[in-house]
Structure 1
Amino acid sequence: MIDIGLNLASKRFKNKHELIRKALKEGVKGFILTGTSLEESKKVCQLADELSDCARFTAGFHPHNAKYWDAKAAEQLTGLIEHPLCVAVGECGLDYDLDRMFSSKEEQHLAFQAQLELAIQHNKPVFLHLRSALTKTGTQEILEDFKRIAQPYIEQGLKGVVHCFTDNTYMARELLALGFYLGITGWLTDQKRGADLRRAVELIPLDRLLIETDAPYLLPHNLPERPKDKTNKPEYLPYVLQAVAQSKRVTPEQLETITNDNVEQLFGVRF
């Protein structure tokens, strides 16, 4: 099992090396550490260096942090992208959640396009974030902007994964048609909020599936016992694997092999 989305730089994780050791004992073989800002990308770069046997990292500006994008940030981010343990550009993308729009759409578009250019220049996939506004036209609006910005780079060979995909079958079909992988989290196990995702997972081809915890967020609901602090950890990835395998009607062992192969295909790494 490989956790393609672990926010190991999070302040909620105190003993980061012990956290990784526990996950390794539970059968998780590798981790891709998420960079969402310049500072966080630097931190996960350092952590990946310390854990190079089992970790790689991404470097990017989350859409929430797009307002901080400038020429100096681009220069420093480029240095991180060139690090041999960096496997993707991102977390980058668009976030139109009306309650959490910390950067304007214009700022998001600028930072997103610039990071797509860096991905093409450095022959790296992108680690994508895509969250629409919860309105009747929210999905169409963000898809139109996403396609307009990304299509020229897709035509140049851009690949990537929409990480922490929690959307519906329409969004899944559109993103799959663009050639992207979809990363599935414990959201799938949420009986109240995960119905749309459960329907979407049924139509995702096995060769486009990846699994992740997005820890410390999105604690799986199928744990035998929920931790009191409700903090998700990479050691819980087997529960995501089980839920996705059940949805796809394959065994966890089969899905583990498939998703490990998918990680190698997209990120060029095998742990």
Structure 2
Amino acid sequence: MFFPRLRRHAKWMFVLLALVFGLGFVLFGVGAGGVGVGDVFRGSGGAGVQSVSDARGETEDRPNDAEAWRNLATAYETEGETAEAITALNKAIELDPKDPSALRELAGLHLTRATERQRDAQLAQVRAAFLAPAQGFPSLLAPSGPSVLSDPVTTAVNASVSGRVSEALGEAQTEATLAVDAYQRLVALQPQDPNVQLELAQAAQQVGDATTAIAAYERFLELAPDDPSASVVREQLKQLRQTAAAAGG
């Protein structure tokens, strides 16, 4: 799988993750004219949004009102508290499981969390470069890379960073997988929406689920063969099929 392999190569895995999470949606933009993941990320801007305390009070007054929990999720999003927004949104979906907009928003929030955790891995690597003395002195490093001198500080820093990076990437994988699950539930509600198929395919591709990605890309082309993104989708399909065939061989 994609993420486990990255965890075994801590020195460069955050670069690949940046490309995967950063470029995946840029390649496609918004397909077929609907609401895309980018729209979810932009949020509501804060105008006219309740405060967290007011929105929480609504959920206490009306604990079985899905809209009250949606309002709380929006309030948390406005404050940048993504994890809390996900919790509130899950409660709203529990109360109204057939709300497509809530499922789409949930998928977007999980992808936001995945990107945040991927960024944490990047920052940990950058911080290690400043904290590990031997990293700043090429003369202390052998041509092959290992330190010539015993450097307990560098060893300790690298061990600590490796643990934090692995933890962050594991959480990023979990969040991205939850996004795929939300999109799959959304597809069940809106099987004729090409945008949902495209977003599901992209999310699945990012977590290394080639089977789901291929099926969703194929369905997108069935629903929107003339969409501006179709040529890019066909190229992605070609690459995925080649990779899958090579892995199977």
Normalization by structure 2: what TM-score?
0.29
Q: Which has the higher strand share?
A: 1
Structure of higher RCO (CA pairs closer than 8 Å, 6+ residues apart): 2
Normalization by structure 1: what TM-score?
0.27
Q: Which has the higher helix share?
A: 2
